[in-house]
Each structure stands twice: as structure tokens, then as C-alpha cells.
Amino acid sequence: MAEMIDRRVAVVTGSTRGIGRAIAHELAAAGMNVVVNSSSERSLPAAEEVAAALTQEFGVETLPVAANVAVEAEANALIDAAMEAFGRVDVLVNNAGITRDGLAARMSDEDFDAVIDINLKGTFHCCRAAAKPMMKQRWGRIINMSSVVGVYGNAGQINYAASKAGVIGMTKTIAKELAKRNVTANAVAPGFIATDMTDALSDSQKEAITSRIGCGRLGEPADIANLVRFLASDEASYITGQVICVDGGMSL
Ligand code: NAP
């Protein structure tokens, strides 16, 4: 009979690429079984590819699941799938997020709502669904992806800034509600990280941003994933309700 290893289980939303994929990689490297999530069936092959690579590299179990976190039933189904496959959810990383940039005076309701629905409501849906098993287990880690834009604001991103500021309020609230059950909740606020999301910027925009970053470079997804791995560990048990900026000194 194969040896049974009692591994922790992590659900990482939006882990087909970018920061989410790097987080899935770090948590698998730390020995966790990982649920890899795509936003739809169309991008499920990308999640399947990430999942297979993690199993191959680290020998952990993985489960690719298509779920749009903005839709309550799909977010619930994502957590249910993790429970069915592994019997527990120890770590939830709410990483799924989009931008629909535009100046406030010209922004459509559609663009405002789309960003709020995924970034803020999607985070709520997954927190609510995962809180139950975490409270029962009396152990859990919730890590929500905010942004320096949610802390400081940014011209052209009224929807995104509101969603990411909302994530901070949500994180502090759930941290208070769950602390007694040994469940922590923290927000990570990245600066500018090199992913598809920031690839849309022109070279001159990137140069202008880099000139404001003390470290003199854009961040890498691994810069975020390393912190998430720590926050998800036993060592971080006394850290809760915090917002940690990872921005190379940009906000100083
Ligand atoms: P990215 O490269 O654009 O990847 C976004 C990921 O989110 C993809 O895996 C995508 O899945 C998934 N996703 C989008 N909508 C979803 C939905 N409705 N349901 C489930 N998954 C969904 O983004 P990123 O740069 O890695 O950003 C990751 C997170 O960090 C976001 O929350 C972002 O706001 C935040 N952040 C990024 C930066 C930065 O500079 N890059 C800075 C601050 C904060 P599909 O492949 O299926 O579309």
C-alpha cells in the first residue's frame, strides 16, 4: 500500500498564470496539495498544465478546477471540489483579479461592476465558503491579494482601487471573526509585478514606474509567492489582519 502523507491543502484562485501560478508553485514546494483554478472551462487546460507540472516536480496531489469566483455557485463548487478530493481546506489564497482601467469621469458601470464582482465579491464568496471547514478544523490561513493601489489610490483605476481597498477591510474583518479558531487572514499588497496584467503597459510607462521603485526593478511573481508561503505556514500563526506591501520600496 502506498504511504499516506498527511498534507495540507491549498486552494489558489486564478492560478493558471502570473502571481497565482507562482503561489501554487511555492505552496506545492512546501509540500501542500494544491487546487489550481482557472476562470472558465476555456482556460482549464492551462490549470491542468500547471497542476500536472506541480505533481511531477513535487509529488503532491493537485486538482485543476474551472470556476469563476464572481459567481457564488462556482466559488462554492471550487471549495466543495477541494473538500471532496482532499477532505480539508487549510489555505485559501484569493488571488484571482482583473483590471478595467479608465478615468473616473468616463468609467462605465459595466467596467466598475466587472472589477468589483471578481476582485471583491469573488474574494468574499471564497472566504465565506472556506471559513466553515477552517473553523471546524480549527486551523486555517486566508491570504487575500490586495494591491498598493488599494492603499494609496491610482489615477485611472477607481474600480480596481476600490476593490483592493475593499479586500483590506474584508481581510481585517474576517481576521477578527476567525482569530479564536486559529484561522488567520492577511492581505498582501504587491506593487508592480511583471505578469500579463502589467505587460499591457508601454516601455515608457514601465520606465516611469521603475524610476519610482527603490529596488530599481519590477517585482517578480516569486517575490509575492515567497511571502504567501510564509503567511501560510505554522511560523506565521501570530500574524493576522495585516496588510503587507511587497513593492520594492515604491510606496516609501
Ligand atoms: P494575471 O497575470 O492577469 O492573471 C490573473 C489570474 O486570475 C489568471 O489565472 C486568471 O485566470 C485569473 N482570473 C481572472 N478572473 C477570474 C475569475 N473570475 N475567476 C477565477 N480566476 C480568475 O494577473 P496577476 O498580475 O498575476 O495578478 C494576480 C493578482 O495580484 C490579482 O488579484 C491582481 O489584482 C493582483 N496584483 C497584481 C499586480 C501586478 O503588478 N501584476 C499588482 C498588485 C496586485 P484565467 O487564465 O482563467 O483567465
Residue 33 lies in a domain: yes
Residue 51: pLDDT over 70: yes
Residue 206 lies in a domain: no
Ligand 1 pocket: which of 11, 17, 163, 170 to mutate (most atoms within 8 A of CB): 17
Atom from ligand 1 closest to the CA of residue 46: 46
Any atom of ligand 1 within 6 Å of the Cβ of 195: yes
Higher pLDDT, residue 1 or 240: 240
Chain CA centroid to CA 69, Å: 11
Which CATH number is 7's domain given? 3.40.50.720
| Total count of domains within the chain | 1
In three-state secondary structure terms, 114 is helix
- Give per-residue pLDDT as tens, 217-226: 999 999 999 9
160 classed as catalytic: yes
Residue 239 lies in a domain: yes
Residue 202 lies in a domain: no
Residue 215 lies in a domain: no
Residue 99 lies in a domain: yes
Any atom of ligand 1 within 6 Å of the Cβ of 38: yes
Any atom of ligand 1 within 6 Å of the Cβ of 14: yes
Residue 204 lies in a domain: no
Distance from the alpha carbon of residue 18 to the mean position of ligand 1, in angstroms: 7
Residue 207 lies in a domain: no
Are the CB atoms for 224 and 236 separated by under 8 Å?
A: no
pTM, to two decimals: 0.98
- Give per-residue pLDDT as tens, 156-212: 999 999 999 999 999 999 999 999 999 999 999 999 999 999 998 899 989 999 999
Any atom of ligand 1 within 6 Å of the Cβ of 70: yes
Range of the domain at 42: 2-193+221-246
Distance from the alpha carbon of residue 4 to the mean position of ligand 1, in angstroms: 34
Are the CB atoms for 214 and 247 separated by under 8 Å?
A: no
In three-state secondary structure terms, 185 is strand
Q: Is the dihedral of CA 143, 222, 120, 215 positive or negative?
A: positive
Atom from ligand 1 closest to the CA of residue 68: 19
Fill in the amino acid letter for 38.
S
